């Protein structure tokens, strides 16, 4: 079994939820990708999941749909084999039916049951509504809609808190303003390259919601750098975005700070963000993140980045 610090690091409240989070949350969207049950790669994936569950951070973030359900399945195998260290837990998300696209109350309850069964647990503390792009907001909020399923689960005590987890600001803002949700998870939109989620972060905080900011590296470009060919928000980066990354690299180099460290700390230092969700696909990333979290970055670096002015548009809303 992996060794782990006694308690997760630097715990803080996740808004009004009563849950405690570390400054970093580990994202499991890639866990179990192309690893069907019994695959030779399964033990390695389970070891990664166990390392996440015994690492320095309180929460592992997954969803019903990640890796076609294998992310939850692999986490379930790790939970059965090694358990989780004290204070660590998995949170998940409900997703539309992958066959029919249905995303109503009944699908929310089924999605939740699927997740519990794969994870081998009888409850989760926090359950998000994930990427509700295929449904109208009015349908989601109406009788028999997806949100009524989540409210039912919270009222029954099956979960402690519910969240909205999605990217598009124009969609997410309506869910935040509904005052039904305890938590916001936004992604790729509050980074060294994007600020458009700031309005959401402010609205969520004003309501006492907890805030996760996911994908501080934009899925990789801000970790791997301008010359890597890496994507931003899962799309190839336009020339003006790559030019901004080169400018960021020059500023970082002048201050002796690596770009991924600045990208991570941009989110960590935000007063709007309770926890920053980072995706990893190998255990050694955990120590790397812990190292980067603790690097001292000078205020001058942030001032030089601010002086660049608003970043070019890196994501279409």
Ligand X SMILES: NC(=O)c1ccc[n+]([C@@H]2O[C@H](COP(=O)([O-])OP(=O)(O)OC[C@H]3O[C@@H](n4cnc5c(N)ncnc54)[C@H](OP(=O)(O)O)[C@@H]3O)[C@@H](O)[C@H]2O)c1
Site stretch for ligand X (CB under 6 A), options 22-30, 37-45, 147-155, 196-204: 22-30
Q: Is residue 53 a contact point for ligand X (CB under 6 A)?
A: no
Site stretch for ligand X (CB under 6 A), options 4-12, 34-42, 105-113, 216-224: 216-224
Q: Among residues 224 and 255, whose Cβ is nearest to ligand X?
A: 224
Q: Is residue 185 a contact point for ligand X (CB under 6 A)?
A: yes
Q: Among residues 144 and 269, whose Cβ is nearest to ligand X?
A: 269
Site stretch for ligand X (CB under 6 A), options 9-17, 26-34, 48-56, 153-161: 26-34
Q: Is residue 277 a contact point for ligand X (CB under 6 A)?
A: yes
Q: Is residue 216 a contact point for ligand X (CB under 6 A)?
A: yes
What's the min distance (Å) between Cβ of 262 and ligand X? 12
Q: Is residue 214 a contact point for ligand X (CB under 6 A)?
A: yes
Phi, psi for residue 251 in degrees, rounded to 5:
-60, -45
Site stretch for ligand X (CB under 6 A), options 24-32, 48-56, 75-83, 136-144: 24-32
Q: Among residues 30 and 120, whose Cβ is nearest to ligand X?
A: 30
Size of the site for ligand X (CB under 6 A): 30
Q: Among residues 228 and 250, whose Cβ is nearest to ligand X?
A: 228
Angle between helices 259-268 and 239-254 (to 10 degrees): 90
134 Cβ contact partners less than 8 Å away, ≥ 6 residues apart: 96, 101, 103
Give the contact letters, 105-144, x = binds to ligand X (CB under 6 A), - = no: -------------------------xx-------------
Strands 59-61 and 89-94: parallel
Q: Is residue 267 a contact point for ligand X (CB under 6 A)?
A: no
Q: Among residues 253 and 303, whose Cβ is nearest to ligand X?
A: 253
Report the distance separating Cα 112 and Cα 127, nearest Å: 8
Contact residue for ligand X among 23, 218, 283, 311 (CB under 6 A):
218
Contact residue for ligand X among 165, 197, 204, 251 (CB under 6 A):
165
What's the min distance (Å) between Cβ of 277 and ligand X? 4
Contact residue for ligand X among 187, 189, 196, 293 (CB under 6 A):
187
188 touches 315 (CB < 8 A): yes
Q: Is residue 217 a contact point for ligand X (CB under 6 A)?
A: yes
Site for ligand X in 278-297 (CB under 6 A): 278-282, 285, 288
Site stretch for ligand X (CB under 6 A), options 28-36, 41-49, 153-161, 195-203: 28-36
Alpha-carbon separation of residue 316 from 65, 190, 194, 196, 237 (angstroms): 23, 13, 11, 10, 12
Query: Which among 120, 199, 112, 117 has a CA at the least distance from the CA of 162?
Result: 112
State the residues that interact with ligand X by CB under 6 A.
27-30, 61, 130-131, 165-167, 185, 187, 214-220, 223-224, 260, 277-282, 285, 288
């Amino acid at each position: 079994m992996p060794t782990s610090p006694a308690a997760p690091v630097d715990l803080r409240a996740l808004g009004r939820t009563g849950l405690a989070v570390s400054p970093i949350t580990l994202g499991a969207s890639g866990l179990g990708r192309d690893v069907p049950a019994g695959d030779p790669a399964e033990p390695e994936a389970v070891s990664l999941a166990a390392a996440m569950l015994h690492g320095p951070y309180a929460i592992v973030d997954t969803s019903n749909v990640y890796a076609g359900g294998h992310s939850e399945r692999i986490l379930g195998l790790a939970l059965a084999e090694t358990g989780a260290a004290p204070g660590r837990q998995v949170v998940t998300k409900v997703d539309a039916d992958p066959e029919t696209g249905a995303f109503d109350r009944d699908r929310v309850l089924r999605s939740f049951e699927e997740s519990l069964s794969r994870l081998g647990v009888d409850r989760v503390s926090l359950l998000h509504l994930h990427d509700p792009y295929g449904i109208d907001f009015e349908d989601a909020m109406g009788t028999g809609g997806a949100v009524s399923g989540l409210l039912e689960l919270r009222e029954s005590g099956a979960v402690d808190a519910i969240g909205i987890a999605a990217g598009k600001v124009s969609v997410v803002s309506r869910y935040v303003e509904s005052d039904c949700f305890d938590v916001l998870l936004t992604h790729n939109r509050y980074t060294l390259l994007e600020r458009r989620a700031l309005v959401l972060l402010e609205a969520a905080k004003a309501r006492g919601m907890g805030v996760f900011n996911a994908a501080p590296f934009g899925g990789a470009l801000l970790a791997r750098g301008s010359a890597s060919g890496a994507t931003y928000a899962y799309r190839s980066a336009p020339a003006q975005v790559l030019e901004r990354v080169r400018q960021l690299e020059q500023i970082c180099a002048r201050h002796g700070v690596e770009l991924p460290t600045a990208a991570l700390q941009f989110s960590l230092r935000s007063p709007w963000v309770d926890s920053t969700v980072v995706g990893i696909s190998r255990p050694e990333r955990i120590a790397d993140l812990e190292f980067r979290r603790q690097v001292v970055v000078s205020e001058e670096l942030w001032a030089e980045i601010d002086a660049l002015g608003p970043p070019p548009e890196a994501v279409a809303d």
